[in-house]
Structure 1
Amino acid sequence: MKFLRSLACTATLLTGHAAAAAGFHDHLGLQLWSLRDQTKVSTTGALDLAVGFGFTEVETAGTGNLSVADFARELSARHLMAVAAHTGYEALQNDLPKAIADAKALGAKTIICPWIPHDREKGLSVADAHRVAADFNAWGEACRAAGLQFGWHPHGFEFVADAHGDTPFAVIARETKPDLVCFELDVFWVFHAGQDPVKLLQQYPGRWRFLHVKDIRKGAVTGLSTGSAPPTDKVAVGDGQIDWPAVFDAAAKAGVTHSFIEDEGVQPLKDIPASLRYLKTLKP
């Protein structure tokens, strides 16, 4: 994005923490789920909004009312690059070849599974996690054979420990192969679940490749591994509880290559520009 490129150009002049904090500007995109309501009105109109905000990189979440081919053409017409594509667990399970073909048609280099289906009352069990890890490895192998990368986006409910202190997240992280399965850290959801995003980045270096940049309201209750929260708890980046310089510093050291603003709040057309203004002026 134009107004962020000037900051990226100065990154080589910075050292230590400052260099790490500035690096994310090179690949700061938008998760198009942020414009889900606008997409319902007009898919192309939502893409126009993304361009108007200054984005050149996006992460897809479906293709609105357009076919994959038509959506890809609309992205190209606006010089928007689909870095990654969110694809549902069931879609991957039911027709993996189609999911791979769709991602390639969009120009995405990575398929991200954004949600693991589970019983909302019982939660995701460690036993479930063993099965999920096996699926992820198989899908990662197929993606690699097709020239793509496969990744997973935890939502917070994966951090509930069983009687032995093990968690579904730990099982999946332990049993998936690093060369087949990368991770996307949603800062809001891990913080909401009572986890420290900086420590998670440090604990699994090389596994985290993508970051969802989303802040949580000051005073919002945390420690809830539910994978759901009121939209009012999701605020513009910089207005909430997250220590963003520390997060970006840890992300750079952990190997994160792309960051995406994902706005799930009540006023994305106001908060996305506000988030960008904050990130543009972020100093170490």
Structure 2
Amino acid sequence: MQFLLYILVYPILWLISILPFPLFYLFSDCICFLVYRVIGYRKKTVRANIALTLPHLTTQEQRKIERKFYSHMCDLFLEMIKTLTITKSEIQKRFQFTNLELFHEYELKNKSIILFYAHYASYEWSIALGTHINIKGFGIYKKIQNKYFDNLVKKIRSRFDAVLIDTKNTVKEVVENEEKGIKGVYGFISDQNPKPNKAQLWDKFMGYTVPIHTGGEMLARKLDMNVLYMKIEKVKRGHYLATFIPLSDNIQNEPEFEVSRKFIKEVEKQIYEAPEFYLWTHKRWKHKKESL
């Protein structure tokens, strides 16, 4: 059954991926109408999250953010599909970097790099980084149950020389790479909701105390890695700009959890600047403790 579903869906995804960009985004508008106006996909969660974290805005302003978010979310999902066939030159044109020289400076420090980023703007097209760097790129991801679609996601996200590592195998594989002398950059999307009974850090995020992912920082401490934050901004439809922000180049001298706190504050700043580009569909504040 899994294979049948895959062979039925894959040709459709491929056809979407080869659409010229004007038609591609027109198709995204149609999908957005269905998802937002007809189906109302997770609209209650999105609306509740925006109202909870942006209470200073009027209801009208919150609804405007909501509408823009659904348009962006549909673009984001379809842009992941577009990655099936997008060329190297095209993705480099559409996902650019302001300070690649900083990343190259970190490559020369002879340490692996933990690269934090968030479910913000285009985390899918961040794979464009692989077309610019000299060390190996690794992405941490959660395995999909359907093995055929899991392979498809790995194919998409590893198109530009990246290697995907299942979250369950992260520590094992990273340690093995370090023991073999393989220096790499490891991408961690660490802004979402960890299980509260396993969280080692609770901190303020968008006005509420919530559990914070610390796995990336713990790994950096264990293996003496440097840490960067990749701030991704949406310049216009289908075009993104990324900036590297140092979080630590000597993590052994940082107070415990300081890097994780710095990261979540950077994410918070981005959301306040342009909230419509954050992924509001997840129940990020499900386990909040208190408001400020």
TM normalised by structure 1 equals 0.30
- Which of structures 1 and 2 has the larger relative contact order (alpha carbons within 8 angstroms, sep 6+)? 2
State which structure, 1 or 2, has the greater radius of gyration over its C-alpha atoms: 2
